[in-house]
Structure 1
Amino acid sequence: MNDFGERAQGMTANQDLNLDDWRRAVDTVSRGQVIELGREFHSGMPHYPTHPDFEISLFRRHGDRVRADGASSASCHWSFGGHTGTHIDALCHVSQCGVMFDDTPADNDLIESGKAAGDAADFSAYLRRGILFDIAALDGVESLSGDRLITPEDLEKASDAQGIDVRQGDVALIRTGWGRHWGSDAYIGHDTPGPGFEAALWLADKGVELVGSDTAVFEKGPVTEAAPVHRLLLLERQIRIMENLDLEALSAAKVYAFFFMALPLRVRGGTASPLRPIAVC
């Protein structure tokens, strides 16, 4: 069996979900409402400066070829980075001192060829209970200020105020309100709010499966000389990260526990995948 076949065979068990986790997620559904948690992908969309633009064009246009019966078709070409728009980070996204999450040397050629562990091909379907920490609502503001660092105390207060408890396997989302700046120059600012290392550690110790926020980077920005939250979650705890979420509708509906669903693209060699997450409540 080749390398790809062995990897695919090894991933089968990761698709299974404990039935108790399914029931816990489904039990949160009471309204029959679906809320989109992701951003539309479009040309000119905001993105972190270290990642490529999103560009879309018609590769084939109506009229380029017209069939005998008058029918024609168009097809599109996309070009963008895996970390542009709403996305999920793969474990191979970060390294520390040349070492990956599985204690192997960081090998760019191996990642690019799709033969390294922890790339986007390793993503599973995420069907779990989701919980929302609405920190902006907790502070009584539409959006946190760019210098706001989210602490474990903030998460605990939000849990109490919103009547949620964090359980093993949960998907934890943090709303800062910064998503209100989406589409403006302020969204990718020098300073952006986000969780600090201690808040990330608090979530990790609670056993969350996946985290995400309504900012371009899941930690207090800017990320310049260090990214301690990414290092802790991806590298040390193997907890994947979602960024550029839209949490405004979820907050407006005052939904703090829900059935979270997301299906990442499984891309060999990908350090991230675009994502369309939803909340069913």
Structure 2
Amino acid sequence: MDEQNPAVSNNIVSQSQIVSQFQDEATSFQMSKKSLAPAALLETSQKIDEKSEVIEDDRSNIKPSDKSILIIEDDHNFSNILIELAQEKGFKYLIAKDGETGLQLAQEYHPQAVILDVGLPQLDGISVMERLKDNPNTRAIPVHFISASDQSSEAKKMGAIGYLIKPVSVDEKEMEVLVADNGKEALKKLEKEPNIDIVLMDIMMPEMDGYKAIQEIRTQPRFRQLPIIALTAKAMKGDKAKCIEAGANDYLAKPMDTDKLFSLMRVWLYR
């Protein structure tokens, strides 16, 4: 067996703590927010084509002395959340959107920890875990599982040191949804419920359209950091720029994709 990297040896004791920190912070992703107020509907986008988009990572500039973490996750937006956590903790990060790529990166870079999605396409997370533990060069790497369903018992039997259930529905996570029929009503609801956590704003509304409503919301200092997602019925050229200019954090085009909706909600609710 090849001699282990000194940087890895020096971090063996703290490796489980590394992933535990991710578990503690990632647990806050589990829809503990109290209220969600759309001015009309929900949805997703950011012009993300999750099947074709390549997420850049640090593999080209990882040094032997660097702390690194491998994220094996096919959900682009959830990967972004984990990337932010990694950067906050001072880690270089490696990204794999499928199990085979994750196994290759684990073998080549020997990261200090692995964050592994159970529901990967083709080679699922359980199979990836089995192969990581069967390989003498990767079996000592701490692995933390993430999944939309609770398979924590099975994961821990396989050697995972932690398990996070992804938030998958508003009802399951006890979020309150407030609905406004137009921009003026949305402003009134915000006045009455200032602790609202996110706004999904339909652009095409009677009385006051979404652009104007967003601008009005942003004039109030207490709402300047409130996440606002703009929704439009058609994906027209220039719409996103116009929404962002009005003060929205992001832009979504209908029809709604539920999976993308929850991914984007995770991004903006738990930044």
Structure 2 length as normaliser, TM-score? 0.27
Higher relative contact order (Cα pairs below 8 Å, separated by 6+ residues): 1
Instruction: Looking at secondary structure, tell me which structure has more helix per residue.
Output: 2
Structure 1 length as normaliser, TM-score? 0.26
